[in-house]
Structure 1
Amino acid sequence: MSNWTDVAAEADLFEGAGIPVSPGGRDIALFAVEGEVFATDNLCTHGNARLCDGFVEGHEIECPFHQGRFDLRTGEATLPPCTQPIKVWPVKVEGGRVFLSLG
């Protein structure tokens, strides 16, 4: 059974921008895209960059350092120089709050 952790208010999210959250000491970024919320590890696998500071293009996040991209839905690297995927986390939104399954 999943253990859901309350990490943010849905109202804190804005279309096309990321915010950092730190549940249990993990560095995670939340993104709102087309009415859905996505959660990924916040650190780029290519360089020491925070993805919450990147640019959202459709369902992709562009790293702010070297412009590599990742798919927010799967974590897959979609544009070099990024080649290694990032972790994605299950998300649910209930009662105006964003919850992550960190198990």
Structure 2
Amino acid sequence: MTWHDVAPEGDFEPDVPKVVQVGDDRIAVFRLDDGFYAISDICTHEYALLSDGFCEEGKIECPLHQACFDIRSGKALDEPAEIDLHTYPTRVEGGVVQFQL
């Protein structure tokens, strides 16, 4: 598994994701009150970019059908989504936020 750079830690705004494309994988990385979290950027219900959705209190809402997911765990919180998101480990190395894929 490889660590991928996202952006300098200071470039993140709370609840505003930064997206990285690695091959076919599109990963959204969030800064929450308690750290950085990386999730799949594609809704598990229908194809929609979660990074275009509304983020608040550690949850991301899909812009297509308003399914909500917990950013920390990837858990689908309500319908129409029933499948959890993939989550990825994160770290800060030399002031740069990274995720592992």
Q: TM-score, normalised by structure 1?
A: 0.87
**Partner Cα distance (2:34, 2:55) in 1:** 14
Q: Aligned residue for 2:58?
A: 59
**Partner Cα distance (2:86, 2:78) in 1:** 16
Q: Aligned residue for 1:4?
A: 3
Find runs of 4+ consecutive structure 1 residues off by over 3 angstroms. Answer: none
% identical equivalent positions = 40
Structure 1: gaps (5+ residues): none
Q: Does the 8 Å contact 2:74/2:85 carry over to 1? A: yes
**Partner Cα distance (1:12, 1:83) in 2:** 33
Structure 2: gaps (5+ residues): none
Seen in structure 2, the aligned counterparts of structure 1 residues 83 and 29 have a Cα distance that, compared at 3 Å, is same
Aligned pairs for 1:1-103 (under 5 A) are: 3-102=2-101
**Partner Cα distance (1:48, 1:24) in 2:** 17
Q: Does the 8 Å contact 1:17/1:55 carry over to 2? A: no
| RMSD between aligned residues | 1.5
Seen in structure 2, the aligned counterparts of structure 1 residues 59 and 69 have a Cα distance that, compared at 3 Å, is same
Q: Does the 8 Å contact 1:77/1:85 carry over to 2? A: yes
Q: Give the deviation of 1:25 after TM superposition.
A: 4.3
**Partner Cα distance (1:35, 1:96) in 2:** 16
Q: Give the deviation of 1:44 after TM superposition.
A: 0.3
Q: Does the 8 Å contact 1:40/1:75 carry over to 2? A: yes
